[in-house]
Amino acid sequence: MTERKFSLNALSVIGFLGVLLGIWWASMASKLPGGSADGTPGAGSFPMAISIVLIILGAILIYNGLRENVAYFARKKEISDAMAKENLIAILLTVAGCALFVVLWYYTHYLIANFLLMFGLALLYKVKLPKALIFGIAFSVGSYYFFSKVLQVLLLAR
């Protein structure tokens, strides 16, 4: 970790994303009924409470991140330009893979989309082919079973 002049660090970035997620979630929760006349909590009560907690925790992370004297995203001297470019490409491909996952999940089944994402990411991060196949299958089937059978969440995108 290097000293910083002025640079965002991981806590600030994650806190900012948490605040944005909390605001978005609060806007979605505000469309649900908050409760009844007799004080019974409605469908929007829990999501609104969670979004408020998320906004508060995000603000705390931002505050702590700005107070810290460490810049996590500053590149160390021993990291070459080629390695930094390779890391940036890997991050961008990961984000693109997640976007592709959402599209595939909408048009196909969760298992197919998740397998392709996990298998592709494993290959991107240089996992050998047999292990990438096992990882893709195990994670896809495991997460499908956990969400659909244990939590009883419908994994249909449409």
Q: Do residue 107 and residue 150 come from a single domain? A: yes
Q: Do residue 69 and residue 92 come from a single domain? A: no
| pLDDT tens across the length of the chain (158 residues) | 455 454 567 778 888 999 999 999 899 888 888 777 777 777 778 888 899 999 999 999 888 888 876 655 566 677 677 777 777 788 888 889 889 998 988 898 889 999 999 999 898 888 899 999 999 999 999 999 888 888 887 777 66
- Give the tens place of pLDDT for each residue, 133-156: 999 999 999 999 888 888 887 777
Which domain-ending residue is among 17, 44, 74?
A: 74
pLDDT value of position 134: 94
Which domain-ending residue is among 21, 40, 74?
A: 74
Q: Dig out the tokens for 146 from the structure.
A: 């956990």
Q: Do residue 12 and residue 60 come from a single domain? A: yes
Q: How far apart are CA 155 and CA 113, in angstroms?
A: 11
Domain residues for the domain of 47 are 1-74
Bridge partners, 2 (sequence order): 71
Q: Do residue 101 and residue 146 come from a single domain? A: yes
Q: Do residue 55 and residue 98 come from a single domain? A: no
Q: Do residue 89 and residue 51 come from a single domain? A: no
Taking the CA atoms of 114, 13, 31 and 56 in sequence, report the sign of the dihedral they define.
positive
pLDDT value of position 141: 92
pLDDT value of position 67: 82
Q: Do residue 29 and residue 95 come from a single domain? A: no
Q: Do residue 121 and residue 52 come from a single domain? A: no
Q: Do residue 99 and residue 70 come from a single domain? A: no
pLDDT value of position 4: 46
The number of folded domains in the chain is 2
Which domain-ending residue is among 74, 93, 113?
A: 74
pLDDT value of position 8: 63
Q: Do residue 83 and residue 157 come from a single domain? A: yes
Q: Do residue 58 and residue 96 come from a single domain? A: no
Q: Do residue 35 and residue 1 come from a single domain? A: yes
